Amino acid sequence: MKFNLNMLFKFSYVKRVRQILLLVGMSLINTTFFCQDYERIDATIMLYPEQPESAEQLSKFITRDFFTEEDKVRAIYSWIILNIAYDPEEYKQFNFTFKNYRERNEKEEILREKIIKRTLQKGVAVCEGYAMLFEKLCELQGITNYLVRGDIKTNFNDIGRPFKNSHMWNVAIIDGTHYLFDPTWGAGRYNEKFIKEPSYFYYKTQPELLFKTHYPGMYEDAFIDGIISKEVFADMPLIILDSLKIEDVESPLNGIIMSDMYFDTIDFAINNCNPTEITYSYGKKKVPVKNMSIDDGKLHFSVPLELGVTTLLIYFDNLPALGYVIK
């Protein structure tokens, strides 16, 4: 369906009000990442077409309504996470082969445009669609940006496996500063089906917080001090709680716990964390930890070691915080 400015304002009043109220509710939930101006931006993009004809058409709305780089990038990110659903079936749509690097480069640009067009028309994508659409819209607004390919840690199977380029996210330069974005993860999560959960945690994410789950193929795109190898990243535990950083986890440092190296308990030491309650699960019910203590700002607790189990999940105040594989 084609849209123009006249058709845009023919959206039903009820639908617009419902969408804006939804966004206001999201704003209240995500108060850490919102400011009053963000609410205005997000409410404005709610009036944009859900399936624009092209990236250029969507970009014209953004040009009309916003003037600063910050506002434009916010509008781009918000529109994508609110309108694009994750669908792994999209991986099957764009397989291609090439004879040489020149042909590869030509096909990659053609493929990029096809992915962007399909993402807009179908309203579904995998990470390439999210990231390439974000890249294209930034380009159309004259905002310097680029794609980042790399690896991610999302589940127990990712602990200890070799590095692979399995994901794509974005860097955009706003007023001379590099910022990290992942609109795919910002749109929601996938568990047999797409669950829409718009989040601004992955908008201008602090590098130290993104790095615990995102390892870029080119290390300089991590924007963190020090060097952590791909092997170390692979062996790390799952650091799930948003506020935890890699350096906060002092022990156990390795995400694979060898049961023959422990006696009766697994001892933990975590910095910069003070939960009211700690529970753990070996894949069954949650069990409360009874021996937690704080010493010089460091959280100490231990979990009884069980034999015959394969995973251990630690919860802080009923939220998943750390994940380990047991061997």
pLDDT band for position 32 (50/70/90)?
very low
Residues 126 and 159 in one domain: yes
Q: How many domains does the chain have?
A: 2
The residue among 192, 222, 252 that closes a domain is 222
pLDDT band for position 17 (50/70/90)?
very low
Between β-strands 311-316 and 319-326, what pairing exists: parallel, antiparallel or unpaired? antiparallel
Residues 195 and 259 in one domain: no
pLDDT score recorded for residue 33 = 40
What predicted TM-score, i.e. pTM, was given to this entire model? 0.84
- Where are the alpha helices (H) located in the chain, listed in sequence order? 5-8, 13-29, 36-45, 55-65, 69-83, 101-122, 127-140, 183-187, 207-211, 230-235
Q: Which domain covers residue 64, as residue numbers? A: 5-222
Q: Render pLDDT for 161-189 as a digit per residue (tens, 0 to 9).
A: 999 999 999 999 999 999 999 999 999 99
**Whether 224 contacts 258, CB under 8 Å:** no
When mean pLDDT is compared across 19-28, 95-104, 160-169, the lowest value belongs to 19-28
Kindly list the distances between the CA atom of residue 149 and the CA atoms of 128, 168, 218, 236, in Å, as whole numbers in the listed order. 10, 5, 8, 20
Dihedral sign for Cα atoms in the order 66, 67, 68, 72: positive
Residues 164 and 295 in one domain: no
Q: Which residues pair with residue 259 across a beta bridge?
A: none
275 three-class SS: coil
The residue among 222, 254, 271 that closes a domain is 222
Residues 77 and 144 in one domain: yes
Asked if residue 227 is part of any domain, the answer here is no
pLDDT score recorded for residue 263 = 79
pLDDT for residue 16 is more than 50: no
Kindly list the distances between the CA atom of residue 37 and the CA atoms of 61, 176, 204, 229, in Å, as whole numbers in the listed order. 18, 21, 16, 39
Residues 105 and 210 in one domain: yes
The amino acid sitting at 325 is V
Asked if residue 188 is part of any domain, the answer here is yes
pLDDT score recorded for residue 297 = 85
Burial class (CB in 10 A: 0-12, 13-18, 19+), 125: buried
Two tokens, residue 70: 């910050």
CA distance 205 to 179: 7
Per this entry, what is the length of the chain? 327
pLDDT score recorded for residue 91 = 81
203 three-class SS: strand
pLDDT score recorded for residue 98 = 58
Mean pLDDT of 78-86: 96
CA distance 65 to 208: 33
Q: Return all residues near 167 (Cβ < 8 A) that are at least 6 apart.
A: 127, 149, 150, 151, 152, 184, 214
Q: Render pLDDT for 150-162 as a digit per residue (tens, 0 to 9).
A: 999 999 999 999 9
Two tokens, residue 101: 């690097």
Two tokens, residue 233: 């990243």
Asked if residue 277 is part of any domain, the answer here is yes
